Amino acid sequence: MSPQIRMINDIAVQFQHQAPDAAAAAIAEHIRAFWDPRMRAELMRRVDSEPEMLDPIALAAARLLTTG
């Protein structure tokens, strides 16, 4: 498992208490604010190649990164 997938899944655990849409939005905002562009690019490569490795909320967050 890549470090980016491990990290986004770990972040998703912290947001399990929120509604899925709110959690995904918060995770996407965290990634935009704190991950450098290389980390985000690697995450997106992994999302494309192995989406099954992501927690469902983490996957929703990653997809928000591509839509704005």
Return the DSSP state at 17. Answer: T
* Helices and strands, counts by H and E, the chain: 4, 0
Which tokens hold the place of 57? 């909320």
* Percent helix, strand and coil across the chain, each to the nearest 5: 80, 0, 20
Tally of structural domains, the chain: 1
pTM of this structure:
0.91
Residue pLDDT, tens place only, 22-62: 999 999 999 999 999 999 999 999 999 999 999 999 999 99
How much is the pLDDT for 67?
76
How much is the pLDDT for 41?
96
- What range defines the domain where residue 12 resides? 3-67
Which tokens hold the place of 16? 């399990």
